[in-house]
Amino acid sequence: MTQCGINPMNPNNHLPTINIFKKNIPKLGIGTWGIGGYMTKSPYSDYVNEITQIKYQLSKGLSLVDCWIAQGEGGSLELIRQAIEDFDREKITLLCKFDIHKYKDIVELETVFNKYLKQLNTDYIDVFQIHKPVFTNISERELNIFLMEKIKHGKVGSFAVSNAKKEDLINLKKKIDIPVEANEILYNIFDREYEVNGTIEYCNKNNIKILAYRPLNRGMTNIAHTSPSFAEIVNRYTLTPNQIALNWLLQKENVLALVKSSNRAHINENMDCMSITLTLKDLNDLDSWRM
């Protein structure tokens, strides 16, 4: 194995940064799926470790924390609150998901909003994110008024969406006055649906940043070894398949990857993903590579 292209601009393995949500932050964000439980509270969660590992990532400079109130019946927010309490709030970006497609009315949205503030012990939310761009009982017009009001009073910094396709973004642009700053989508080296359906190209052209969720395909990147062409690229670097998968994503100008780990060795592995620069040819080959 040879060590191709040690990054001369990055001798300390610093992660690249991105201008997003009015800050310049590292291109790795802190995923939280499963922290404190999945859709119910989990008796199997190791709460102490989960808090410790979020704190560790923050201490290393990661700053975007993905928050979802539904998770662990609100329990994951409690762990996030404990993890962030000793850090400078202004250096942390809390991205909060709202299932507006499920709420019965704007009153319920207000209630959930206030629960986020209370459970995270914060006065404001950096990023108000709709979890799905689906409008059932709450209309785009009502959301627009809600958002304008929250921004005016300093309760919300930015607006983002998740799981939006190009058509959804076009609709939001027409109906909501606050620009969508980011779209959180399933995007990794295996899953290119949002490349194929034109959403990523639309985001790039309209200055909408991509928050790539499941960037390690839920930790399944090692199955890449079943692909000789991927293994051939991996074997030419002193990077692991996970690091190659993250490196490929983070080389993209508009992309921040939201990776979840509660394992110190995995966290360090992920944060070291940019220690080596992939050649342009390898990046191009990975662009066109498919399982």
Ligand X SMILES: NC(=O)c1ccc[n+]([C@@H]2O[C@H](COP(=O)([O-])OP(=O)(O)OC[C@H]3O[C@@H](n4cnc5c(N)ncnc54)[C@H](OP(=O)(O)O)[C@@H]3O)[C@@H](O)[C@H]2O)c1
CB of 152 to ligand X, least distance (A): 27
Looking at this protein, which amino acid is placed at residue 277?
T
| Cβ atoms 65, 273 nearer than 8 A | no
Stretch that binds ligand X, among 12-20, 114-122, 171-179, 217-225 (CB under 6 A): 217-225
> In the numeric block, which tokens belong to residue 262?
């509660």
Q: Between β-strands 17-20 and 23-26, what pairing exists: parallel, antiparallel or unpaired? A: antiparallel
31 binding ligand X? (CB under 6 A): yes
Which one among 37, 260, 275, 286 touches ligand X, defined by CB under 6 A? Answer: 260
Which one among 112, 189, 216, 233 touches ligand X, defined by CB under 6 A? Answer: 216
Stretch that binds ligand X, among 84-92, 202-210, 252-260, 278-286 (CB under 6 A): 252-260
**Which has the closest alpha carbon to 278: 238, 225, 228?**
238
Residue whose CB is less far from ligand X, 259 or 278: 259
Residue whose CB is less far from ligand X, 147 or 259: 259
Which one among 219, 223, 232, 238 touches ligand X, defined by CB under 6 A? Answer: 219
Give the long-range contacts of residues 52-57, CB within 8 A, separation 24 or more: 53/261, 53/262, 53/263, 53/264, 53/267, 54/30, 54/79, 54/80, 54/83, 54/84, 55/83, 55/86, 55/87, 56/264, 56/267, 57/30, 57/267, 57/271
Stretch that binds ligand X, among 76-84, 98-106, 175-183, 216-224 (CB under 6 A): 216-224
Greatest alpha-carbon pair distance for the chain in Å reads 59
Per the DSSP assignment, residues forming a β-bridge with 159 are 128, 180
258 binding ligand X? (CB under 6 A): yes
144 binding ligand X? (CB under 6 A): no
> In the numeric block, which tokens belong to residue 254?
């508009």
225 binding ligand X? (CB under 6 A): no
Residue whose CB is less far from ligand X, 216 or 250: 216
Which one among 270, 271, 275, 282 touches ligand X, defined by CB under 6 A? Answer: 270
Q: Which residues of this protein are in contact with ligand X, per CB under 6 A?
A: 31-33, 66, 162-163, 184, 213-219, 242, 258-263, 266, 269-270
